[in-house]
A and B are shown apart, each in its own frame.
Chain A
Amino acid sequence: NAGVTQTPKFQVLKTGQSMTLQCAQDMNHEYMSWYRQDPGMGLRLIHYSVGAGITDQGEVPNGYNVSRSTTEDFPLRLLSAAPSQTSVYFCASRQGSTGELFFGEGSRLTVL
């Protein structure tokens, strides 16, 4: 059982480039979310989804897009990368309303 899988693990971009961080889970979880983690800032929610076809904004959505065409996948898109988006990104999923979150191993993004 793979759990939550994120790719790539590391990425370096130049300002203005675009990319997609991939997230896939094999636990049939309805809820999926993206966080960014920065030193001293804890975890900040970017976007989340409560099921296929349904997405919503979190605390820091600007500069990021998401879609949820299947239950399994929840990609995060950076349309025009900025140095302020240098961070570690985590995808997490949850089953039901009382369950705990299952996190991926993270994607470390550097924007030059």
Chain B
Amino acid sequence: AQSVAQPEDQVNVAEGNPLTVKCTYSVSGNPYLFWYVQYPNRGLQFLLKYITGDNLVKGSYGFEAEFNKSQTSFHLKKPSALVSDSALYFCAVRDLPGGSYIPTFGRGTSLIVHP
């Protein structure tokens, strides 16, 4: 079985400060991990993914995420937050190989960046 948790419903950060949005997962095999962002009244947009290889993954808009197998985490980070980063962020996981064809999404974390 696969599952994902986003322990924070909301994260507040000041513009210019580093930000972290947390994600932990549970899988039987090896995880495929994804981050998506949703701006108000829009569909979800892909930010980055981890399949295999380097544990630090770089994605769109200056975001990056670190895969930590021992802590089963895949936290989303950005060195310097922008007001325009304010949005809803979703972590998703698939259990591969041979696992589910369907990703499991977290409940989402609302990121608010204050000017």
User: Which B residues touch A45, using CB under 8 A?
Assistant: 102
Main secondary structure of the interface of A (DSSP, over half): strand
Q: Which of B44, B49, B90 has the most CB of A within 10 A?
A: B44
Residue among A31, A42, A58, A97 making CB contact with B90, cutoff 8 Å: A42
Give the docked Cα–Cα distance between A96 and B49 (Å).
Answer: 14
User: Which A residues touch B41, using CB under 8 A?
Assistant: 106
How many A-B residue pairs have C-beta atoms within 8 angstroms? Tell me.
48
User: Which A residues touch B103, using CB under 8 A?
Assistant: 101
Give the docked Cα–Cα distance between A106 and B43 (Å).
Answer: 6
- Which positions 26-54 of chain A face chain B at CB distance < 8 Å? 31, 33, 40-43, 45, 48, 50
Is there contact, CB below 8 Å, between A43 and B42? no
User: Which A residues touch B45, using CB under 8 A?
Assistant: 103
Is there contact, CB below 8 Å, between A105 and B107? no
In whole Å, how far is A59's beta carbon from the nearest beta carbon of chain B? 9
Give the docked Cα–Cα distance between A101 and B35 (Å).
Answer: 10
Is there contact, CB below 8 Å, between B105 and A42? yes
Interface size class of B (residues with CB under 8 A): 20 to 34
A43-B90 CB under 8 A given contacts A33-B102, A50-B101? yes
- Is residue B87 contacting chain A, with contact meaning CB distance below 8 A? no
- Is residue A102 contacting chain B, with contact meaning CB distance below 8 A? yes
Is there contact, CB below 8 Å, between B105 and A105? no
Interface size class of A (residues with CB under 8 A): 20 to 34
Is there contact, CB below 8 Å, between A42 and B101? no
Residue among B44, B46, B49, B92 making CB contact with A90, cutoff 8 Å: B44
User: Which B residues touch A41, using CB under 8 A?
Assistant: 107
Is there contact, CB below 8 Å, between A101 and B106? no
B13-57 near A? 1/0 per residue, CB < 8 Å = 000000000000000000010101000011111100101000000
Is there contact, CB below 8 Å, between A101 and B101? no
A40-B34 CB under 8 A given contacts A90-B44, A105-B42? no
Listed by A's residue number, 19 A-B pairs whose Cβ atoms lie within 8 Å are: A31-B101, A40-B107, A42-B105, A42-B106, A42-B107, A42-B108, A43-B90, A50-B101, A90-B43, A97-B101, A98-B51, A100-B46, A101-B36, A101-B44, A101-B92, A102-B46, A103-B36, A103-B45, A105-B42
